[in-house]
Amino acid sequence: MRRRQTATLPFRPPLRSEQLVLRPLERTDAPKVAALAGDWEVARWTLDIPHPYDMTMARDFVAWAQDEFSSQRRIFLGMVARASGDLVGIISLTRNGTDEGEIGYWVGRPYQGKGYAREAAAVAIKLGFEVMALRRVVAACMPDNEPSWRVMEHCGMTYVEAIQRWSIARRATFDLSLYAIDRPAEEANT
């Protein structure tokens, strides 16, 4: 199997926060991804995780995420708890056009409520501004997903508008709350 190159990335993974190591996904993550993302209580809050979600889907996702990462189309990072070494979730940062990016994240149910999403989102936003030179970072969640919009607000994001997107998990179009944060003016001028 060929080794995916990350030498051209504008940053050097892994990234660290107080509780997490954020690193590219590895093939060996597939069983944990299948177990965590296969939980309806995780999948139902996402747009892109089908349900049921099995090992084949997890393997395919990890391979695709590695390709996206190495091509820099989308940066997927596994959230690994520093204390236990467990993969607890995934965060992504996607460039939408030239100066806007979008973050997306999920945390497995056994690991929710520990601040992991908040830490990972803060790191991803910083990466977007400081390394990718984005002007704005956005994120969206279902309006009734209070933990997710609280993460966004904690990271300084503010509500922008209601939008609609298709959810693979729910097999329907849903209203979402779009949040955004702009790069601080002092950073934008440097």
What's the CATH code of the domain at 168?
Answer: 3.40.630.30
Domain membership of residue 113 as a residue range: 15-188
d(CA 144, CA 70): 34
Q: Provide the pLDDT for residue 71.
A: 83
| Residue 3 included in any domain | no
Whether 1 maps to a domain, the answer reads no
Please give the pLDDT value at position 11.
72
Spans of the chain below 70 pLDDT: 1-10, 187-190
pLDDT attached to residue 168:
81
Spatial CA neighbour of 169 closest among 102, 97, 87, 104: 104
CB atoms within 10 A of CB 42: 21
pLDDT for 30 equals 99
pLDDT of 100 reads 97
160 close to 140: Cβ distance less than 8 angstroms = no
pLDDT at residue 98, as a whole number: 83
Residue 41: both structure tokens together: 């209580």
Whether 9 is in a domain gets the answer no
Q: Is residue 58 part of a domain?
A: yes
- E-state strands within the chain: 15-16, 20-24, 74-81, 87-95, 100-107, 136-141, 158-167, 172-182
State the total domains in the chain: 1
22 is a domain residue: yes
Residue 4 lies in a domain: no
| Residue 2 included in any domain | no
- Per residue in 30-57, pLDDT tens? 999 999 999 999 999 999 999 999 999 9
